[in-house]
Amino acid sequence: MSDCTIAPADDFGLYLRVLRACQGMLPIAREALRWINGGDDEVVRSVRLECVVCVAPRALRDQGTAAGLLQAAAQAEIWVLAKGCPPSPARNQKIANNTLHAPNSIRRA
């Protein structure tokens, strides 16, 4: 018998979000869910979820394994708990793009 069971609506939404972040790779999504659900309380679990969603694309591209994803997510979790906000690759790219275009914007003004 498979360990895939129908979960309550909230858990099912969590499952789908993690599965989407893991690009449909079911074994990796299962490991990520085990790690997320291993948190002590709801706050830790929500931080872990956001960390998995944030780091999954790059971790899966670079390493392609559940261990690599969980290591990157754990590092992001430490960052969040220490700094109070998650590292955001998209935000960093946006800042870099704005920095690159700032001189042109200033010249036009």
Residue from 72, 24, 37 nearest 51 by CA: 72
Distant-in-sequence, close-in-space partners of 82: CB < 8 Å, separation ≥ 6: none
**Would you state the pLDDT for residue 67?**
93
Give me the average pLDDT of each 10-residue run along the chain (109 residues): 45 84 89 89 88 91 91 90 64 46 45
**Would you state the pLDDT for residue 5?**
42
Q: Within 13 A of 14's CA, how many CA atoms are on the CB side?
A: 21
How far is 60 from 72, CA to CA, in rounded Å?
10
In contact, 1 and 38? CB cutoff 8 Å: no
